[in-house]
A and B are shown apart, each in its own frame.
Chain A
Amino acid sequence: MDFETFVFYSFGAILVASGLRVVTARNPVHAALALVLAFFTAAGLWILLEAEFLAITLVLVYVGAVMVLFLFVVMMLDLNLTKLREGFWSYLPVAVAVAAIMGFEMVTVLYGRSFGSQAVAEPAGYSNTKALGSLLYTQYLYPFEVAAVILLVAIVAAIALTMRHRKDTKYQNPASQVAVRRQDRVRMVKMKATPRAAALESKE
């Protein structure tokens, strides 16, 4: 067994183990952390396949941002574990059906050779990042732009759905705070000096 195979199998073992933990862990926070480990190991496997751009993006986007927000939400929720376990048997048929479809898809990908597709080894100077970039911005430019617009619409929609304006909230307007002048805050009042003797008399 050469080194590459050894790395592949050890990463694969970690990936499968952490994937199992995602669905079996009792505590949702532990499950989310196991998912983080699964993403990270998958990124390692992709680097092994010379897809370094995808691997780093997986870490950057999913591990670095998406899962952080996931954890953020899971930690804030007051979860009732027994309630989460209810309805396990009623959901089981649907879950089995989904799992079967996914299993079938995986088998077709893994045994792709028997369906006629061939994996080709890349030449030495091949840069996955460059290849991906030139494909995305030439051949697939329009689908790429459409996907970007859809994502933008989704962002705007998510904000529009959750934003509410309350009339009674107090907030600061930084622009007006910065634009404030001395004349707005301080009023200089000219007063006549009081003679000393008169001031003393009025005190008594």
Chain B
Amino acid sequence: MMAFWQGILGIAWTPVWALVKIIAIIAPLMIGVAYLTYAERKVIGYMQVRIGPNRVGFKGLLQPIADGLKLLMKEIVVPSGASKGLFVLAPMLMIAPALAAWAVVPFSPRMVLANIDAGLLYILAMTSMGVYGVIIAGWASNSKYAFLGAMRSAAQIVSYEIAMGFALVGVLMAAHSLNLVDIVQAQRGGVFHWYWLPLLPLFVVYFISGVAETNRAPFDVAEGESEIVAGFHVEYSGMAFAVFFLAEYANMILVAMLASLLFLGGWEPLFPIAPLTWVPGFVWLLGKVAFMLLLFLWARATFPRYRYDQIMRLGWKVFIPVTLVWIVAVGLVLQTPYRYLVH
């Protein structure tokens, strides 16, 4: 089958095959984003003793599609005095890195688009690009609220990136690799071999920083509606707004995916014993990602929004010292005979 197509396409085979693989990642991701919004509304509805969307389709299952159609039909209004080129560019700059980061994410030991050695660094580099979408959107809109939101978001993302990077340094020290497949395979052997246990503080810091990086509640001062209307995307409408939304949710899924791969053993089963190993690894991975995403939604339904100075204090004065201490602790343990504790 593959050889047949290879023969027909000749030299065009490599780009076409890569494109097929990219679509095979992006299309389910976009459907995942759509149904994550549905899950969010249903879960928060359940937590607030409401029903949530239930009109479009069976139990409201077609609601995300209706929302998407509505946003597609709407006009994109460009404010007067806006820097027009940058205004249109900003949503693209937001979604491009959010999707590009998925290139190195493995779904099973062999299912990965690009199995590169510096995978973890690549993901850090890509996610750090996302802040440009926010800043440019805020600046190009020529609106006070958008600008304030962009400033808040930029400061927040830059601060939490440091703690996030340090948390990942702990992982690479334990796994002796930056390759995501190798990191998962280093956690083989059941739930007590996953890195969440030896690197528990780093896991907590990583996840909370991930929530802050994606501008999600309780760290959503960048779009705090009670103070600055909707923050950096206040002037956006229609599909341009939808692209910001897609990027935010794609980033959420990425953070959940990375937390599952780096700290929760990826596609490894809970215990390496008979009935659990029959379940395909991909199902385990999906289950872990779904759990991490539930934590995102749970936090949004439960916690009040942080004040801006509290966010900065948490990032700089709590998380960075915690990660630094734990990195040194991991380094020391690796030099002793007890290194099996962190592998």
Q: Which residues of A contact B (CB under 8 A)?
A: 29, 33, 36, 52-53, 56-57, 59-60, 63-65, 68-69, 71-72, 75-76, 127, 129, 174
Also in contact, A60 and B124, with CB within 8 A (given A52-B116, A53-B118): yes
Residues in chain A near residue B154, CB distance under 8 A: 68, 71-72
Residues in chain B near residue A52, CB distance under 8 A: 116-118
CB pair B117–A129 under 8 Å, yes or no, is: yes
CB pair B121–A65 under 8 Å, yes or no, is: no
User: A52 to B136, alpha carbons, bound, how many Å?
Assistant: 28
B20 interfacial by beta-carbon distance below 8 Å: no
CB pair A68–B125 under 8 Å, yes or no, is: no
The stretch among B105-113, B127-135, B215-223, B323-331 that forms the contact with chain A is B127-135
Of A29, A60, A64, A174, the most chain B CB neighbours within 10 A belong to A64
CB pair B125–A56 under 8 Å, yes or no, is: yes
CB pair B116–A64 under 8 Å, yes or no, is: no
Known contacts A57-B121, A59-B125, A60-B121, then 17 further A-B pairs from the complex at CB < 8 Å, ordered by chain A residue? A33-B86, A56-B118, A56-B122, A60-B128, A63-B129, A64-B124, A64-B161, A68-B132, A68-B135, A68-B154, A68-B158, A69-B158, A71-B154, A75-B139, A129-B118, A129-B178, A174-B310
CB pair B135–A75 under 8 Å, yes or no, is: yes
Please give the distance in Å from B130's CB to the nearest CB on chain A: 9
Of A36, A60, A174, the most chain B CB neighbours within 10 A belong to A60
Also in contact, A64 and B129, with CB within 8 A (given A52-B118, A53-B121): yes
CB pair A65–B161 under 8 Å, yes or no, is: yes
Residues in chain B near residue A64, CB distance under 8 A: 124-125, 128-129, 131, 161
Q: From residue 81 to 121 of chain B, which have CB atoms closer than 8 A to chain A?
A: 86, 116-118, 121
CB pair A65–B139 under 8 Å, yes or no, is: no
B243 interfacial by beta-carbon distance below 8 Å: no
